[in-house]
Structures are given as structure tokens and as C-alpha cells.
Amino acid sequence: MNWRDDTRRLRFTPYVYAGIGLFGISGNASKNAAYSNIQMAVPFGGGMKYVLNPKWYVAAEFGIRKTFFDYLDNISDGEPSFKNFQYGNRYDNDNYFFLGLTFTRTFYDIPCPRSPY
């Protein structure tokens, strides 16, 4: 959406995003699993951006990071028959979530070309 149009009364726009990313973890691998500390994730989510004035913007977003890794919590090797709550589900991968609030400041304007027609 053209959310910086001066003639529009609406000063906000929704957005969605998706991509491919890497994340790093620290910790020790368990005895049964050896893994790399760099793993791949697929981030996706959406948010809302609002124009405070021509130089300042605020955005709120929520996202999910889908991983292909089951040791993010480092407790996936537990025995399910013992209910000590120290194990994860060994049959699916871990995910993590992101909730953010962003303030943006524009320092210069890029003039848009005018149509000659």
C-alpha cells in the first residue's frame, strides 16, 4: 500500500514477511546428539506500521521462526514415561516466537521521479 501518500487520511499499513535465516545457539550437545551451533530457520509473520509524522514511524509485529532443529531447548532426550517435565517432544522440531515494537527515523528524503505524462 502507498502508505506515505500525503493525500491519504490513513496513516498506517499492514505488512507480512517471510524469508530464510540463520540463528546461533550456545550450550553443550547431549550425549545422544551432536549438532552445530548455527542452524537454519524460516521466519514469517506480520505487523502494522503507523506514520507519526513525515520523519518518524512506529511498527508492531509478531513473527514465528520455524526451525529444523529439535535441540533448541536442549531437553529433547527425556524419557516420556517419567513425568519430570524435563523432556520435549522428540517427534517434532522446536519453534520460537518474536514480538517487537520498532521506532524508525528517516534522516533524508529521496525525491520520487515525476511522470512526464
Model's pTM, two decimal places? 0.67
Instruction: Flag whether 110 is in a domain.
Output: no
Q: Residue 72, class by beta-carbon neighbours within 10 Å (0-12 exposed, 13-18 middle, 19+ buried)?
A: buried
Contact in structure between 23 and 41 (CB atoms under 8 Å): yes
Instruction: Flag whether 3 is in a domain.
Output: no
- 45 forms beta bridges with 17, 63
Instruction: Flag whether 64 is in a domain.
Output: yes
pLDDT in tens, 27-85: 666 666 678 889 999 999 999 999 888 789 999 999 999 999 887 776 666 665 665 66
Instruction: Flag whether 36 is in a domain.
Output: yes
**Total domains present in the chain:** 1
pLDDT in tens, 16-25: 999 999 988 8
Instruction: Flag whether 37 is in a domain.
Output: yes
Instruction: Flag whether 54 is in a domain.
Output: yes
pLDDT in tens, 80-111: 566 566 566 677 888 889 999 999 998 877 77
E strand or H helix at 5, and its extent?
A: none
Radius of gyration of the chain (CA): 22
Give the structural domain span for 100: 12-105
Instruction: Flag whether 5 is in a domain.
Output: no
